[in-house]
Amino acid sequence: MQLAFWLNYFYSGVGGDAVERLQKVLARAGIASRRKSEEIILQGRVKVNGKVVRKLGTKVDPDNDKIELDDRPIKGKEKKVYILLYKPSGYVTTMKDPQGRKTVADLVSSIPQRIYPVGRLDYDTEGLLLMTNDGKLVYRLTHPSHEVKKTYLATVKGHPSERALRRLRHGIKLEDGMTAPARVKLLKAYNNSSLLELIIHEGKNRQVRRMCEAVGHPVLKLKRTKVGFLTLDNLSKGEFRYLTNSEIKRLKEMY
């Protein structure tokens, strides 16, 4: 679902330099949502090269056409933003939730640009989540061929046997197919639970939870600690930071 969204985002022109629909340009510039931008156009508040445009679907070249909202020029390209968020459990990884639950958008509401999550962490999972408005980078990080490694700490019920750990390492057959081999370490055994470190490069829905459930050790608590070379550093739950220029460059070079 996430990959399909960004494929559409990228190839529809938002992620690149192309002639685009006017409402898309307004939305990308951070003026308003796509639907609200359509309302603004219908109200006659937008000019293209000095002429009022009220027709939805009007094609413009954001690099060469002069686009104005209420007689003020807008920038065709929104500033690229790259965020590393420590998502707490109890938040959904969407920008809006029809059920009224808290979303990751609530945690980054101070950021003026419209950014989106890179992949997903389920409602009960905490940890590292990247967010950006760079469609090209999202495509690279979410495409299976790039095999971006993601590290998790999973507290599971019981004490997994060596056979169970080998199954995780070799791949587990789930309803939606076999998982790729995972790197798995047993870090610590408690009275009735164990702490595992798992490294995977796929993004199947609730993958780590389903893998552990399949070997008879359901997850009690799950935290993503690393994506590629990025870690949570000293962030607390609910906090975020901007990626450094060197981190952004390294991500783009690696993937």
CATH number corresponding to 149-227: 3.30.70.1560
List average pLDDT for each run of 10 residues in the chain, which is 255 residues long: 47 52 85 88 95 93 87 79 97 92 96 89 97 89 89 98 97 94 97 98 93 98 97 96 96 87
- State which H helix or E strand residue 156 sits in: strand 150-157
Catalytic residue among 61, 65, 97, 122: 122
CATH number corresponding to 2-73: 3.10.290.10
Ranges of each domain in the chain = 2-73, 82-144+230-254, 149-227
Residue 185: both structure tokens together: 């370490």
Instruction: Count other C-beta atoms under 10 Å from residue 62's C-beta.
Output: 21
Residue 17 a catalytic site member: no
Do residues 174 and 211 lie in contact, with contact meaning Cβ atoms separated by under 8 Å? yes
Tell how strand 126-132 and strand 219-227 pair up: parallel
Nearest residue to 108 via CA among 69, 135, 81 = 81
SS3 category, 166: helix
The domain 82-144+230-254 having CATH identifier 3.30.70.580: the answer here is: yes
Identical fold, 82-144+230-254 and 149-227: yes
20 phi, psi to nearest 5 deg = -135, 165
- Residue 18: the pLDDT is 59
Nearest residue to 182 via CA among 154, 141, 159 = 154
Give the separation between CA 211 and CA 199, rounded to whole angstroms. 12
With residues binned 3-state (H G I as helix, E B as strand, rest as coil), the percentages for the chain, rounded to 5, are: 25, 30, 45
Give the separation between CA 123 and CA 88, rounded to whole angstroms. 9
- Residue 54: the pLDDT is 95
- Residue 113: the pLDDT is 84
- Residue 76: the pLDDT is 58
Give the separation between CA 165 and CA 186, rounded to whole angstroms. 8
Sheet architecture: strand order including 46-48: 51-52, 46-48, 67-69, 72-73
What lies within 8 Å, CB to CB, of 4 at 6+ separation is none
